[in-house]
Structure 1
Amino acid sequence: MASTSFVILPKDVLLPSASSSSSSPASLPPRRFWRLPHPKTGLPAMYLPYQRAKDGSAGVLEIQNVAPEEERCWFLGEEVVSDGKLLVFTPIDPIFLLLPVLEATTASPSRFLLADHIFSTAASSAAYSLAPPFVNLASDVKQKGKEVAPPPPEGVESDDVLLLGGMEGVEKLMRRVCDVQEIAEGMAAFRLSEKLLVSYLRRKVARLSKQETFERFPSLTRGLAKDGLGDLTADGEGEVVKEEKEGKKLDDLLALKAEARLYQSLSLLKPYLSPTHFTLLSNSYAPSATTQPFPLLTKYLKSLVPVLPPMPTTTSSGGSAASAASKKRKPTQGVAKLAKVDTKGMKTMDSFFKKRVVEDKEVEGGKKGVKVKE
């Protein structure tokens, strides 16, 4: 029985038809999802190839499952859909999916390989031997203690990696981040290049950090406002003028905000890059090898750290001024009441902690006894 799910799709998406036909592109099988390792975590993730409606070019959608903590349902006309999850389909740059493939095959050891060899080698590697779908994963803390399905045996090829390699224009994408050796006409070997990769990612960050593009992403502008910098909207311009009147240089403030936008834009790429690649990209923004990335922003954020209060001053008698002031404080109401209590005939507290003194004493009958002095 077919189930109903609610999904969000981009506008410019042309999905394959339900029935296969000879006119369907080989790289876009009808309704075929790809299960590939996530480029950062390596955990299985779902992707869907599609065609762009405006020009027919191939692209990839990442599928994210937005599930509420408690059970929910949808109302569709007169029907109640028990599955309250929401599937969000968002375009993803295919290069992010290609990076783990290239790194696993051409980076360690560094070597040139033909495109077909790259994907066939990756398909049979342990990194792409994913657990079967719809089973509990050992890395999922919510499923801790439950039965976990064993991974598939090594040596089994992942067809989805081969489909990624057969996507339209994949070699053109690889040329953006790879060194290329032309072997013959129509035949080339590829090797991942850190220099080309950083250059490609920096161009992506630069486009995101442009003011008109930056302001389209609420998560980015919120991150900027969280650091007290705001965005350069109409309100931000007013803030700039105000700070300039207070004696701050306008050029320095604009440079700081531009650097802050770069930093926030960089954070958008972090979920799609391995820690090694993200560190490589982040370090490329350092002015020199001995300085930290984003020096203006780093200096500004350090200035926001609260200054510790000064140490208490010492009085002439040797005690601190704080302790001398505490001696002059009025007693509390409870202490004042105890001071009025009649303590005549009562033993003092220190009497219970004195040492006992034992001495001999003559008693009647000539016998000796003991007398305890307290």
Structure 2
Amino acid sequence: MTSKKQMIAFTRKQDQDVTSLQPISLPCPRTGKVITFLYDQDTTTIFELSKVAEGRKACWLIDNSVYKDGALHFITPIDPLFIVLPILAEIGRKVSLIVRKKDSELSLTRISLSHAQEEGKALYRTMDDIFTLEQDIPSHDIQRMIDTTAFSEQLAHLCDTQEIAPGMSVYRYNEEKSLGWLKQKVDALVQQFDMIPQFKNSLSDLAEDKKKDHRLRESIYVLAKYLTNDWIKALFKCYDGLTEEAVDETEESMANDINNPSVDDYFQLVSNKSTSPATEKATKKPKPTTPRSLANVNTKDIKPLTSFFKSK
């Protein structure tokens, strides 16, 4: 017998109904591993679920019940195209076998679908063929993703599309379109960069000619959570002269090793990016000193506190 997990949600709006949120399993955009998302049946929206666990044992006390799992989860909407992109890209990388005649002999040559497109061999595929038949994930969860608002129309950002019958379209992955869509995401983040206090503060110590590259670089890194390394490198190449920032090995190791940092650690990691070493030293609290009124007290005949607890 399996016990059904309960989800306690705190929302910004009072009396907001969260019973429509259902867990679904979909591939992680960056790693490809199947992870849990939330699907809102009322709005057909997909939410990502980020767990921030306490470093020590904790629990929730709600009404008259005790919930052993004291972890905190952040629930935020996610664009389903980020989930779709690696699926489409994988299909684009798959190889096909074609027969070629070379030196009067038949040989099987492996060519990528991108090469096949140049030779007119590329095939359009139905949505079911792309997202259902080849995926090792629950079909009903894939269907929920497909049912999200305007999903089929949004695929035009990543694919060439053709309508073969009323209400029926076929799709072909287009890498150039996909990169253009990601670039639009980066440019949108750059426009909003100064509206986020922590990002804006990170510009204060930079020379004016360095700020533009900094905005672009950090905006790409914001999207990096949802992209493979190949896409990250491709985005950097879109901007002339923009280079990737060297990553501190200690910080990278810490970020990779701690899957569920405490709430304090989570916000500390976020704030460290906008805090310089000089500022950290300045914010350290001084060691408390002995009050002057007690500095000259004669302690010769004063018993230690532990003496009161000894057996007589």
Q: Same fold (TM over 0.5)?
A: yes
1:167 alignment partner in structure 2: 148
Identity of aligned residues (%): 27
How far does residue 277 in structure 1 lie from its aligned partner after superposition? 1.7
1:183 alignment partner in structure 2: 164
Are 2:9 and 2:18, in contact at CA under 8 Å, matched by a contact in 1?
no
Are 2:213 and 2:242, in contact at CA under 8 Å, matched by a contact in 1?
no
- 1:1-374 equivalences under 5 Å are 5-9=7-11, 31-50=21-40, 58-77=44-63, 79-109=65-95, 110=113, 111-123=123-135, 128-129=136-137, 158-210=139-191, 213-221=192-200, 223-224=202-203, 228-229=205-206, 253-285=207-239, 287=240, 292-294=241-243
Are 2:46 and 2:148, in contact at CA under 8 Å, matched by a contact in 1?
no
Deviations 1:148-167 (A, max 9, x none): xxxxxxxxx54322332233
Mapped partners of 2:89, 2:10: distance in 1: 32
SS of alignment partner, residue 121 of structure 1: coil
Deviations 1:253-279 (A, max 9, x none): 544312211111111000101122222
1:178–1:3 distance in 2 versus 1, CA, 3 Å? closer
Q: Alpha carbon RMSD of aligned pairs, Å?
A: 3.2
Letter in structure 1 aligned against 2:150: G
How far does residue 33 in structure 1 lie from its aligned partner after superposition? 1.6
Letter in structure 1 aligned against 2:157: R
Q: Show structure 2 runs of 5+ residues with no match.
A: 96-112, 114-122, 247-312
1:182–1:33 distance in 2 versus 1, CA, 3 Å? same
Mapped partners of 2:17, 2:91: distance in 1: 31
1:351 alignment partner in structure 2: none
- For the pair shown, the structure with the greater C-alpha radius of gyration is 1
Are 1:40 and 1:274, in contact at CA under 8 Å, matched by a contact in 2?
yes
Q: TM-score, normalised by structure 1?
A: 0.51
1:189–1:223 distance in 2 versus 1, CA, 3 Å? farther
1:165–1:214 distance in 2 versus 1, CA, 3 Å? same
Q: Show structure 1 runs of 5+ residues with no match.
A: 18-29, 130-156, 230-252, 299-374
How far does residue 218 in structure 1 lie from its aligned partner after superposition? 4.6
Greater relative contact order (CA < 8 Å, ≥ 6 in sequence): 2
Are 2:44 and 2:147, in contact at CA under 8 Å, matched by a contact in 1?
no
Q: TM-score, normalised by structure 2?
A: 0.60
Number of positions where the alignment pairs a residue of Structure 1 with one of Structure 2: 218
